[in-house]
Amino acid sequence: MTLSDTTLDAVQLAATAAESKGGEDLVALDVSGPLPFVDAFLLVTGRSERNVVAIAGEVEDRLNASGVKTLRREGKSEGRWILLDFGEVVVHVFHEEERMYYSLERLWKDCPVIPLVSSAPQPAN
């Protein structure tokens, strides 16, 4: 299935928001084939519980401001794995240990990767 421009824009906006708060190892996956209720996952790593909460908050704020409403939020009080459900897009913000333990990339390895445009400054040569 081909993802809509709306979904791709939401994934990119979420990725940009996550990077702005120090999110690392961003991976976007097209899960529209195996999952009938969601089109894309964005996986992000934070370095601490506080960082995970900050990343999730920024992603939620930016997507809500653009008109993409949060349908469900889980895990915010623990700050180890926060799931943000925006309907077509689900954002998973992990602490490093949870990201390695649950290894969603391995679970969804057959799904196509969605290319992301990084907003992080590029190192000078």
All domains of the chain in start order, with CATH: 5-114 (3.30.460.10)
Which phi and psi angles does 92 have, rounded to 5°?
A: -110, 115
11 vs 22: CA distance, rounded Å: 17
- Please report which residue ranges of 1-125 form alpha helices under DSSP H: 5-20, 49-65, 96-102, 104-107
pLDDT level of residue 120 (50, 70, 90 thresholds): low
Three-class SS state of 125? coil
Model pTM? 0.92
Residue with tokens 């915010």: 76
pLDDT in tens, 54-109: 999 999 999 999 999 999 999 988 899 999 999 999 999 999 999 999 999 999 99
pLDDT in tens, 6-65: 999 999 999 999 999 999 999 999 999 999 899 999 999 999 999 999 999 999 999 999
